[in-house]
């Protein structure tokens, strides 16, 4: 990895993005105990649509019709659906699992992206990368412990979230630079808003006034995370900032212990370490391959 003076700034932005995502998840963890997960998802996407629209129009001088201009509507729809699936499966998992366990299982996504890039995008997938993928799956099995008394089929929800996120990343990579950044962000937020709004009447529970700031917080934290993340990748080399996404496991464990008295057991910690190690190895191999190239 070359010495880019902007990498330090990128790392800080990535840590802020991860902190914002973890904060959003922590708020959602509290809300889904009293409300259907769909309400939390709807609040996140509705608020994000408004925030992204305002940001895109102010930052890029793009009117609403111009924000909707896309050369690849099919891929935008697929990308948006996969992002909605990521949020839906993860928020649903928070209703039945601890914050740390859900986050650790979802963080299997980097190695799934590596596997998917080899299978669908024609990227090289050698035996060492395959071993890293298998190691991450082993880490997931350590956490969910199939066959043990603690296992619940609901533990598969964060794995579904990780799979959707991997698909989202691959579609984003396939889109490449052909689409405007603000347009892609707005489509994802708008798609999530329309779908959840259509389903909302079937699960609606009138929120307590005291919970309204928490619902608003989902949109604020989610939008801030997206903006920090986008800024991080625009300022720094991806290979420099990618490993810091795993700080989310530490944030999730901290929030779980502080706000919900959720203390991860030794199996969760062990499985999380295996997943992180596998992900860091994949990052290391990709970095070395880029250097050789």
Residue 91, pLDDT above cutoff 60: yes
Alpha carbon distance 97, 268 (integer Å): 12
pLDDT at 202: 94
Angle at 113 between CA 91 and CA 183, to 5 degrees: 70
Instruction: Give residue for tokens 């596997």.
Output: 115
**Predicted TM-score (pTM) of this structure:** 0.81
Helix, strand, or coil here: 120?
helix
Q: Are 44 and 87 in contact (CB under 8 A)?
A: yes
Closest CA to 245 of 19, 93, 48: 19
Mean of per-residue pLDDT scores for the chain: 81
Residue 71, pLDDT above cutoff 90: no
Residue 285, pLDDT above cutoff 70: no
Closest CA to 40 of 258, 253, 203: 203
Helix, strand, or coil here: 269?
helix
Per residue in 204-261, pLDDT (tens digit) is 999 999 999 999 999 999 888 878 877 776 676 655 666 677 788 888 889 989 998 8
Higher pLDDT, 275 or 190: 190
Q: Are 195 and 21 in contact (CB under 8 A)?
A: no
pLDDT at 207: 93
pLDDT at 160: 92
Structure tokens at 81: 């659906």
pLDDT at 268: 80
Q: Are 187 and 79 in contact (CB under 8 A)?
A: yes
Q: Is 189 left (phi over 0), alpha (psi -120 to 50) or beta?
A: alpha
How many other C-beta atoms lie within 10 A of the C-beta of residue 211? 14
Residue 287, pLDDT above cutoff 80: no
From residue 54, give the alpha-carbon distance in Å to each of 49, 186, 257: 9, 10, 36
pLDDT at 290: 59
Per residue in 138-194, pLDDT (tens digit) is 777 777 665 554 456 777 899 899 999 888 888 877 776 677 777 788 888 899 999
pLDDT at 88: 94
Alpha carbon distance 65, 282 (integer Å): 41
pLDDT at 115: 77
pLDDT at 1: 42
């Amino acid at each position: 990895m070359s010495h880019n003076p902007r990498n330090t700034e990128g790392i800080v932005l990535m840590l802020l993005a991860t902190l914002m995502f973890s904060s959003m998840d922590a708020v959602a963890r509290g809300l889904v105990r009293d409300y259907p997960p769909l309400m939390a998802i709807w609040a996140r996407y509705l608020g994000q649509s408004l925030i992204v629209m305002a940001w895109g129009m102010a930052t890029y001088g793009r009117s609403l019709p111009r924000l909707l201009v896309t050369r690849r509507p099919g891929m935008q729809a697929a990308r948006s659906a996969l992002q909605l699936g990521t949020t839906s499966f993860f928020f649903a998992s928070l209703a039945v699992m601890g914050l740390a366990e859900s986050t650790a299982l979802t963080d299997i996504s980097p190695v799934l992206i590596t596997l998917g890039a080899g299978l669908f995008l024609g990227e090289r997938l050698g035996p060492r990368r395959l071993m890293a993928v298998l190691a991450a799956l082993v880490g997931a099995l350590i956490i969910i412990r199939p066959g043990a008394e603690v296992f619940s089929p609901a533990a598969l929800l964060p794995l579904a979230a990780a799979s959707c996120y991997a698909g989202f990343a691959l579609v984003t990579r396939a889109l490449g630079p052909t689409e405007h950044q603000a347009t892609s962000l707005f489509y994802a937020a708008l798609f999530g808003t329309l779908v959840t709004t259509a389903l909302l009447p079937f699960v609606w529970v009138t929120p307590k006034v005291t919970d309204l700031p928490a619902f608003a917080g989902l949109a604020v934290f989610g939008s801030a995370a997206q903006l920090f993340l986008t800024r991080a990748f625009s300022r720094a080399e991806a290979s420099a900032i990618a490993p810091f996404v795993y700080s989310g496991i530490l944030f999730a464990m901290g929030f779980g212990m502080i706000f919900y008295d959720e203390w991860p057991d030794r199996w969760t910690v062990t499985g999380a370490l295996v997943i992180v190690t596998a992900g860091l190895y994949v990052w290391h191999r990709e970095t070395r391959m880029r250097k050789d190239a």
